Amino acid sequence: MIEAVGLTKRYGAKTAVYNLSFQVRPGAVTGFLGPNGSGKSTTMRMILGLDNPTAGHVTIAGHPYRKLPNAPRQVGALLDAKAVHGGRHARNHLLCLAQLSGIPARRVDEVLGVVGLQDVAKKRSKGFSLGMGQRLGIAAALLGDPQVLLFDEPVNGLDPEGILWVRNLMKALAAEGRTVFVSSHLMSEMALTADHLIVIGRGQLLADMSVRDFISANSADFARVRTPDTEPAAREKLSAALTEAGGHVLPEADGALRVTGLALPRISDLAHDSDVRLWELSPHQASLEEAYMRMTQGAVDYRSTIDQKAGLQQQLPPPQAQFQAPVPGQGQPGWYAPPPPQQGGQPFGMPQGAPVQPGAPVQPGAPAPQGAPVHNPYAQPADVPAAPVAAPPAPTAAPPAAPAPAAAPDLTKSENNENGAAR
């Protein structure tokens, strides 16, 4: 098991990782998700003892990596597939690594076969494609037949067949009881590969939950209902009837209504009873990618201004907007209404208070425990992490309309590392 407690890493004024605590358990693929620059690689480097935490600590099987007995046999990692001596043959590269760790040569041929590079084993790796380089990096990670495996963006550069192969490999390794920790910025890929998700944004924990919980919290079914464009009063009338019947109605940018909490036949009956004609009544499911984008949108460091101008980068609402009561007949162009899974619920399984404790899956709609610190990753400027703030008032049924800015920690103070030494 990998366990991080209060992990923080600063590079000068830049806080790459802030107060990150989580556990990665054996027997499962744990996806490590976050936008570019969110701190995934930094976290992995700290797990592997390649970077010292500014504060907090991280252990593998109870030991910091550098104190782990026979570490190369216990932990395998793919961090940077390009970090290979290009002049060496693939086999020689692996042979060197094996000799350094006392691993027999026959294991080199085994892993070359596992990753499908046996036919190019005698080729210099500088001639390798991106995908072949990834396979060589994965072979190196598997050399010691380790129980704990870390892969940083393993599907980078792989073709669809290669992606499927990595996906199946990760699952097979976890099924053998190994701890498999895989970083990615693609929710769609992780939804297919991982059992558990740890999501970070700007170095802070946004979610720690099983994929199943993430799916049930985020991919609620909804119906799209459309009334004739020429009859805004009918749309308003229907919206009121649906809301009165217990549905949640949110206007979509194109004038349709997104309805949750009511089955399609019931929506049809209500429209009929209200004497409203329908141009569309269709079942839909919100995509996980969409939910993930919304979860991390406030924590994205790099965003194209050109995309925004062209309308390619959709401006999504802040999470609090999801709770705004629907206004019958009034569209809110420019944003895509999310599906609230339940009344007063927490649509994304996001921690309302403190980041979710490892092992405690987020219950959609569950209020933050009283006294838990409020964590508001959306309120942060780009370079300042959210601070653990003072105890909030008792949770209320409805969240505030606007995100409350969280106090930033004093970044000028040094923190002590696990050994008590200031960095």
CB of 313 to ligand ATP, least distance (A): 17
Alpha-carbon distances, residue 373 vs 21, 376, 388, 400 (angstroms): 15, 10, 6, 15
Q: Mask 134-173, x = binds ligand ATP (CB under 6 A)?
A: ----------------------------------------
- The answer to the question of residue 205 lying near ligand ATP (CB under 6 A) is no
Per rule CB under 6 A, count of chain residues that contact ligand ATP: 12
> Which range binds ligand ATP by CB under 6 A, 32-40, 219-227, 249-257, 337-345?
32-40
202 and 190 Cβ atoms separated by less than 8 Å:
no
Distance CA 62, CA 3 (A): 8
CB neighbour class for 67 (10 Å; exposed up to 12, middle 13-18, buried from 19): exposed
Residue 37 found at the interface with ligand ATP (CB under 6 A): yes
Q: Which of 22, 29, 40, 292 binds ligand ATP (CB under 6 A)?
A: 40
Residue 137: CB minimum distance to ligand ATP, A: 15
Contact 330, 345 (CB under 8 A): no
Residue placing its CB nearer to ligand ATP in the complex, 65 or 335 = 65
Residues 6 or more apart from 35 whose CB is under 8 A from it?
185, 201, 296, 299, 300, 301, 302
First to last CA, the chain: 27
177 secondary structure, DSSP code: T
The verdict on 34 binding ligand ATP (CB under 6 A) reads yes
If we measure between CA atoms, which residue out of 309, 297, 235 comes closest to residue 271?
A: 235
User: Could you say which of 30, 42, 239, 376 contacts ligand ATP (CB under 6 A)?
Assistant: 42
Closest of 186, 2, 183, 4 to residue 78, by C-alpha: 183
Pairing mode of beta strands 179-184, 148-152: parallel
Residue 411 in the binding site for ligand ATP (CB under 6 A): no
- Contact window for ligand ATP (CB under 6 A) among 9-17, 138-146, 335-343, 366-374: 9-17
Segment near ligand ATP (CB under 6 A), from 8-16, 64-72, 341-349, 364-372? Answer: 8-16
For residues 227-266, which are near ligand ATP according to CB under 6 A? Answer: none
Span near ligand ATP by CB under 6 A; candidates 37-45, 310-318, 340-348, 350-358 = 37-45
Task: Supply the Cα-derived Rg of the chain in whole angstroms.
Answer: 24
Sign of CA dihedral 17, 213, 286, 397: negative
Q: Count of alpha carbons within 13 Å of 352, Cβ hemisphere only?
A: 23
82 versus 272: smaller Cβ distance to ligand ATP: 82
State how far the Cα of 323 lies from the Cα of 221, in Å rounded to an integer: 17
Provide the mask over 180-199, with x wherever binding to ligand ATP is found by CB under 6 A and - wherever it is not.
Answer: -----x--------------
The least distance separating ligand ATP from the CB of residue 189, rounded to whole angstroms, comes to 13
Instruction: Determine which residue in the list 2, 29, 39, 58 makes contact with ligand ATP, applying CB under 6 A.
Output: 39
- DSSP assignment letter at 278: -
40 or 248, CB closer to ligand ATP?
40
**Residue 23, Ramachandran bin (φ over 0: left; ψ between -120 and 50: alpha; else beta):** beta
Residue number with CB closer to ligand ATP (36 or 315) = 36
Options 11-19, 72-80, 321-329, 351-359: segment touching ligand ATP (CB under 6 A): 11-19
The answer to whether the beta carbons of residues 34 and 59 sit under 8 Å apart is: no
Q: Give the residue, chosen from 19, 41, 134, 296, that forms a contact with ligand ATP under the rule CB under 6 A.
A: 41
What is the Cα–Cα distance from 162 to 87, expressed in whole angstroms? 24
Under rule CB under 6 A, residue 21 binds ligand ATP: no
Please state the closest distance from residue 181 (CB atom) to ligand ATP, in A.
13
Question: Rule CB under 6 A: which residues touch ligand ATP?
Answer: 11, 14, 16, 34, 36-42, 185
